[in-house]
Structure formats: C-alpha cells, structure tokens
Amino acid sequence: MEDQIIVFGRNDVEQLALSNRSSKCLPTLLDFKSNAKAFPYLQEGIKTIHQGGNRMAILTHQNNLLLTLHDYKMHSKSSSSSSTLEHHNKASIDVPSHDICLLRNNVIDVAVGFSHCLFLTKQHELYGFGNTSNGRIGISNEQMMDNEDAIITNTFKRLYNIKCFQVPLSHLMDEDEFITSIYALGQGTICKTNRENLITFGWNYRGELCSQVKSDRQSPKKITFFNSSIIDGIYTGYSHVMFLVNKRTDIKLYVCGWNELGQLGLGHNSNVFSITENEFCTFKHDIVDISLGYDFSMFLTRQGKVYGCGKLPSPPSDTIKYFGAFYEFKLDGITQITCGYYHALFVVNHKQIIACGSNDCFQCGFSDEDETNYGISNCRPLNITNPLPLRLLSAGQYCSAILFSFGQVKYEAEKRMKERLLRAFEESKLIDIIILR
C-alpha cells in the first residue's frame, strides 16, 4: 500500500494541496491516485515533508520533489477566509522532478521558510525561489539578472510562472567542500557543508544567522565555528536556531538568535548574535529531537519526556517541574514532536496523536474555532486512524500534515544497518567495509 498523507490547517493558497481555498481545513486524506502525474512518485515512498507559510514540499526516497505552487497560478479560485468548506481531496500538487529532467531523481534536500523555498541537488547545487527580500534566498539583484538564461530558471518560469534561481556559493567554500543540507528560518537560510561549516544568508536582525553582525539583509557568509566538531542536528524556528553537536562523544547544545521570550533557554532575555553553548540544559545527553516554534522551543528525550522554554502553548501551572529556564511537561511515552508557529503535535507510543496550541486555522485538527492556547496538560487527542504505521508529523506556520507509511520499516532497517557498519568500522572490528548507497 502506498504512503498516505492527512493534512489540516490553513489552505488559503492551496498550500495543503486541497483544491478549495480556505483558512480553515479539517483533517483530510490526500487522494494521490487521481493525480496521474504525482501518484507514481508517491509510490517511491516519502522521505520527508516540509511546510512553510504558503508551501508544502514532499521529498521521495528516490530523490524526487513535489511542491504546492498554487500561489503562483495565474487563474483565480474562490476562497473563504472564515468558513470551513468541503474539500475535494485530489492531491493538487506539482512535480518539478517530472517536468524538469535536471531534477529527476536528483533532489537530496528541501527547505521551506515563511515565503521562500530552496532545494539542493545531488551535484550540491542550490536553487531558491519565492520572496527575495532580505536576501533570504541568497542572491542579489545582479545575480538574478545573470540567472535569467539558466535552464532551471527558464523552465520554472515557463511551467510554473516562477523565477527560480541557482544560488552561487562556491566562492565561499574550500576545494572539495560542498553543501550537504539546508534549513529555513522565517526569513533566512542556513546551509551546512561537508566540512561542518555553515553558510547563512537573509534576515539577521535578531542574530539568527550566527554571523555576530545585526543586519536586515545579510549576503551569504561562511561560519566556521563548528569545523572541528560534528553537527548532529540543526533546528530552526522563525528567528532562532539550535545545534546539537558531538552526540557520540561530548554532546553539546548551541543556540543563537531571538531570545526576548527566553526561547533559547539561557536564563536571560537578550538576543544572541554569536553561537553560544547552552550550559543550563541538564538533559542534553538524552535529547533525541528538537522542534522550534515562532517564539518557543521543545525538546524530546529518549525517555519519552518533553521539555520546553520560551512562550510555550502552555502556562507554567500546567507543568510538573520548573527548573531554570526550562519546563518539564505532564507528558509520558512521547515518541515524536513537531511545532508550528503557535501549535504543537505529539505522538504517544508511535500511535496516538495529541495536539495543543492555537487552533484558529484548525492547525490542531479540531473542528472548534476556539483560538485558546490549550495548555500541555489540556492536550486533546486527535481522532485520526489509518491502517498504515504512523511515520512522521510535519507542521508549518498554520498547518499540519501526518504521514502514514509502511516504507519506514525498509528504510529504517537500511539506516540501522549502515549505522552498525559505521560503528564497527570506528571500533576497528572490520578490516574492509563497503557501504552501498
């Protein structure tokens, strides 16, 4: 059985791939079978889903990219800003990998911000489109003009009415250095290289781009802070970022950016413009995932506990423990977390989904229009069932998606095998080793 996606929340520019535009969409199963172009790619198995302010991006295990691009469509459609509509659940989504041969089986990462999107190819070439203000896609006006005749730019413009540009970053990298992954903030972008360096660009007014200089338009800049470490995770919110480093040896948590509400967990409320170690996080050795919202942060531990800091969708009275800048919530057995701007979703024991936070766009999946920020202890279960295993959660600014998939078993098994081989190699238990990709 092919993967299945349930979406809910804001769909005013069809960012959920539902055909009827509305600001309030209840949980709906996307029907990919009726989309002749997209369905074959869904059968490859979905690797990840990313959501932003006006876009959803789906990346398959065969490195093909699917995007909602309806905000660029020339024709207008009826919309409703306040009422809930019955949605046609045909997956209305574009497949650039299908139309553009240079992208077919060739996209290895994608990042979606509030109004910009970037994707990375196997050749480590970076492309971006969307709102270009504040330099958030890393390209100047002069470079845009130089890009006008590029194949990708012309093809995107012809097919989708989009100006998509290649982002030139090679001048910032050493020989044999290249981009390996990309991450979007609300109005900025962070790229990671194979040398554990960062290249950041965009809006850096609160320090979120780690360059130590306050700027409302930062051109691409290389950050070498981590080049003697191993970055195991980069996590971005609207205007703050966290790094989990050296998990196998001396694990550390580093933070940077907006901190006026204490969302960096440093015990003060000053913005941070240079990468700073968070020495107050006593549970850092147990962290398995981090998710950042607009002005808050959440941490999941291997024990199934959830911690947080900043302006959380929960008052302190709902917590079971308060220490320093962090809260420990009344939640047990949590196996997944994800945060939108003002809401959060949790998975209990790999099965049950619960939600909290603002539901003004139905981003929590409930039918009421109560905009109250439900406290963590008042989390409500979502009555969503599916015969497939629950694979992952995704949250955008005001929307959410749930992926159900059997593909997890195959790909997680391959991942575990590679990890075992790597550990054996590091421990010198194997003389020769071959890892097939």
Q: Please give the full DSSP string across 373-408, using - where no structure is assigned.
A: ---GGG-EE-----SSPEEEEEE-SSEEEEEE-SHH
Q: Would you say residue 432 lies in a domain?
A: no
Residue pointed to by tokens 């694979």: 391
Interval 91-112 mean pLDDT: 94
Could you tell me if residue 437 is inside a domain?
A: no
The pLDDT tens digits of the residues spanning 242-263 come to: 999 998 889 999 999 999 999 9
**pLDDT band for position 194 (50/70/90)?**
very high
Q: Does the pLDDT at position 200 exceed 60?
A: yes
In this structure, are residues 240 and 231 in contact, taking their beta carbons and an 8 Å threshold? no
What pLDDT does residue 378 have? 66
User: What integer is the mean pLDDT of 39-56?
Assistant: 94
Who wins on pLDDT, 256 or 412? 256
CATH of the domain at 206: 2.130.10.30
- pLDDT of 318 > 50? The answer is yes
Q: Please answer whether residues 404 and 3 qualify as being in contact, where contact means their C-beta atoms are separated by less than 8 angstroms.
A: yes
Q: How far is CA 14 from the centre of its chain?
A: 18
- Banded model confidence at residue 411, pLDDT cuts 50, 70, 90: low
Residue 389: predicted pLDDT: 93
Q: What pLDDT, on a 0 to 100 scale, did the predictor assign at position 409? A: 53
Alpha carbon distances (Å) from 377 to 53, 113, 315 = 28, 30, 9
Query: What pLDDT score does 312 carry?
Result: 74
Across residues 281-301, what is the average pLDDT?
96
What value does the mean pLDDT take over residues 16-22? 91
The residue ranking higher by pLDDT, 427 or 115, is 115
The pTM of the full predicted model, rounded to 2 decimals, is 0.88
Residues 6+ apart with CB under 8 A from 251: 244, 245, 284, 285, 287
Domain count, the chain: 1
State the amino acid at position 12 in one-letter form: D
- pLDDT of 105 > 80? The answer is yes
% of the chain at pLDDT higher than 70: 87
Exposed, middle or buried by CB within 10 Å (0-12, 13-18, 19+), for 40? middle
Q: What is the DSSP letter of 148?
A: T
Residue 84 has pLDDT above 70, yes or no: no
Residue 190 has pLDDT above 90, yes or no: yes
Strands, E, within 194-269: which ranges?
Answer: 198-204, 215-223, 231-236, 240-245, 252-257
Phi, psi values for residue 268, rounded to 5°: -140, 175
Residue 290 lies in a domain: yes
Is residue 165's pLDDT more than 60?
Answer: yes
Cα–Cα distance between 370 and 428 in angstroms, integer?
58
22 domain residue, yes or no: yes
Q: What was the pLDDT predicted at 210?
A: 97
Summarize the confidence of residues 276-290 as an average pLDDT.
Answer: 96
Is the model's pLDDT at 74 over the cut of 70?
no
Span 350-406, pLDDT tens digits: 999 999 888 999 999 998 765 555 555 568 899 998 999 999 999 999 999 999 998
- pLDDT in the model for residue 220: 97
Locate 241 and state its tokens: 């970022």
Residue ranges of alpha helices (H) inside 21-173 are: 39-42, 96-99, 141-147, 151-160
Domain of 149 in residue numbering reads as: 4-426
3-state SS assignment for residue 275: strand
Residue 433 falls within a domain, yes or no? no
Summarize the confidence of residues 310-315 as an average pLDDT: 71
Q: Is residue 300 part of a domain?
A: yes
Nearest by Cα to 185 from 415, 426, 397: 397
Q: Is 17 left (phi over 0), alpha (psi -120 to 50) or beta?
A: left
Closest of 49, 90, 53, 117 to residue 361, by C-alpha: 53
The reported pLDDT for the residue numbered 76 is 42
pLDDT given at position 344: 94
> What is the average pLDDT score of the chain?
88
Q: Is the pLDDT of residue 325 over 80?
A: yes
434 domain residue, yes or no:
no
Task: Flag whether 435 is in a domain.
Answer: no
What average pLDDT score do residues 333-342 get? Answer: 96
Q: Is 20's pLDDT higher than 70?
A: yes
Q: Is the pLDDT at 145 greater than 80, yes or no?
A: no
Residue 247: per-residue pLDDT: 87
Query: How much is the average pLDDT of 174-184?
Result: 98
pLDDT band, residue 205 (cuts 50/70/90): very high
Residue 413 has pLDDT above 70, yes or no: no
